[in-house]
Homo-oligomer: A and B are copies of this chain.
Amino acid sequence: MNDDKIELPKDSPNGRVETQYFNFDSLLLESSEILSPVTIAYETYGKLNEKKDNAILLCHALSGDAHLAGISKEDGKLGWWEFMIGPGRAFDTDKYFIIGSNVLGGCKGSTGPSSVNPVTNKPYGSDFPEITIRDMVNAQVKLIENMGIQKLFSIAGGSMGGMQVIEWTYSHPEKVATAIPIATTFHHSAQQIAFNEVGRISIMNDPDWSGGDYYDKKPPVNGLSIARMIGHITYMSDDSMKEKFGRRTRSAGKDGKKLNTGFEVESYLRYQGEAFVKRFDANTYICVTKAIDFFDAGDNKDLIKHYYDTDIKFLVISYSHDWIYPPYQSKEIVKVLKFAQADVTYCDISKSYGHDAFLIPHEEQGLLIGNFLNNNYNKYISSVRSNIKQ
């Protein structure tokens, strides 16, 4: 999800959408701490049918939120996966009930470091507990159960969203019929950790970070914008940057010195950094990237045993030019699932875009996912409903 200055459409087949809030008393975290109370921000599209067997949960990546599609009633912005959701689109709202929620630890309505700590009546800041991908999923489980949904027809997401998809299939296999992990991995490599770590150090080195307790002061915008710029470069590919900017320069600075001439890619990155700090919280950046880095589904041997003969049907998608979550990581997921005799389809989509390809409108992803869902839906509902009759 980036902050490109794109002319937003005035309308969407998904209409105007309002974020809703689900509150529950407490959540036992993987760290053994208890977070209480908990709010999860969410949005829904389409209608939950009577049997409640047409629900699909879509999980967002690091900088995403619950606002998947439609025009936000709050800020008028289009959802980050608009092109994938709606009547006749891949996540077809004429058939499916689509749910998006902001992750635990987030800063878009769900409980996170910027939420008020009921003990102190101030934002948590440095007191916010460690959050894991499992904790995020456990909060989503509560949200789904509260809606009366026993089992999701599908769950999908890219990048960190894909980690949540994997965690759902790992820890709650009975609650998932089909799963679509996109551009993701069973665990971060040292290189992936390293890029996140430099982002975190950049925030924590910013004097305005104040150890995480900056909510009554100027936030660490410098550090966060650097973190975002680093991230942004990793989300693009060498080729997509070449297409977008090449070596084009912008006009010279006031004194006409060449040094004051900037490359277009520079001002683009600066803009991305500046736009990001207006919409994102630095402590959430630290909290969520830590969750990503510590996510580890397990080693292949254990994973094969764990997934052996699973009923879940998988569609694994990678992007050929994604160098930060390279296709070999998706192939590793496919290999494990194949060894586990799972029903898995794999597709590597050849696009010049990098990691953020799954967020950029193109035909292939929608077709692959739409067909995968359609092929499985009728089989799924007939099997579920015949089970109920028995």
Contacts and interface: CB of A to CB of B under 8 A. Distances in A.
A49 B189 CA distance: 52
Given A202-B226, A247-B188, A258 B130 contact: yes
Given A130-B257, A236-B191, A247-B190, A198 B230 contact: yes
Contact of A265 (B190, B237, B242): B190
Given A194-B269, A258-B31, A263-B293, A201 B226 contact: yes
Contacts of A206: 222
A258 B206 CA distance: 23
B263 A201 contact: no
Given A193-B265, A226-B205, A257 B198 contact: no
Interface string A20-33: 00000000000100
In this complex, the interface size class of chain A, counting residues with CB under 8 Å from chain B, is 35 or more
A190 B269 contact: no
Interface in A199-248: 201-202, 205-207, 222, 225-226, 229-230, 233, 236-238, 241-242, 244-247
A6 interface: no
How many copies of this chain does the complex contain? 2
Residue among A190, A194, A245, A296 with max Cβ neighbours from chain B (10 Å): A190
Interface of A: 31, 130, 187-191, 193-195, 197-198, 201-202, 205-207, 222, 225-226, 229-230, 233, 236-238, 241-242, 244-247, 257-259, 263-266, 269-270, 273, 290, 293-294, 296, 323, 326
27 contacts: A31-B257, A130-B257, A130-B259, A187-B247, A189-B238, A189-B241, A189-B242, A190-B242, A190-B244, A190-B245, A190-B246, A190-B265, A191-B233, A191-B237, A191-B242, A193-B266, A194-B229, A194-B233, A197-B269, A198-B229, A201-B229, A202-B202, A206-B222, A226-B226, A238-B326, A247-B296, A259-B290
